[in-house]
Structure 1
């Protein structure tokens, strides 16, 4: 069983990444800036996250679910976690840490989850 590693999408608030890492420094959460994702199309973002074995964390409820569905017809994804933009910062941080604590990377393969549901 492998620990989940996360990749922030370019639309995810950086404060969420910072807050997660402050609360749980052992968690592996790469920022969009570190991965150079600004201006990259959804399919390519999914490819980068998949190549690196990371669950993509995004606020994109409009285009990402459809793009994800198309992506997994031909490639393997390590998963996508969509956080509502209306979710308070503390709730977003808690959700990511909870996912990291209670699930494994294998459980997220080709899975997408929206939080809150």
Structure 2
């Protein structure tokens, strides 16, 4: 069983990444800046997250679900979490910590979920 790891998409509020790491320093949550995702297509971002075996965390409800569906037809994804722009940052942080604590990376393979539930 592998621990869940996260990759922030370029559109994800940085406060979610910072707050999650501040609350739980052991979480592996890479920022979009660190991963060099700025200007990359959804397909490229999905490939980078998959290569690093990280769940992609994004706010992109418009294009990401379609791109994800196409991506998993030919490749394996570590999963995608779409967090609503309207979800309070503190709630998003709590949800990510809960996912990290209560699930394994294997459970997220080729899965997409929106938060809040």
Partner of 2:47: 47
Q: Which runs of 4+ in 1 moved over 2 A?
A: none
The structural deviation recorded for 1:116 is 1.2
How many residues in Structure 1 have an aligned counterpart in Structure 2? 117
The structural deviation recorded for 1:14 is 0.5
- Mark the runs of 5 or more structure 2 residues left unpaired by the alignment: none
Partner of 1:63: 63
Q: Deviations over 1:57-107 (max 9, x none)?
A: 000000000000000000000000000000001011011111101100000
2:107 maps to 1:91: no
**Partners of 2:53 and 2:72 in 1: CA distance:** 14
- Mark the runs of 5 or more structure 1 residues left unpaired by the alignment: none
For normalisation by structure 2, the TM-score amounts to 0.99
Partner of 2:107: 107
Partner of 1:11: 11
**Partners of 1:63 and 1:88 in 2: CA distance:** 22
The structural deviation recorded for 1:31 is 0.2
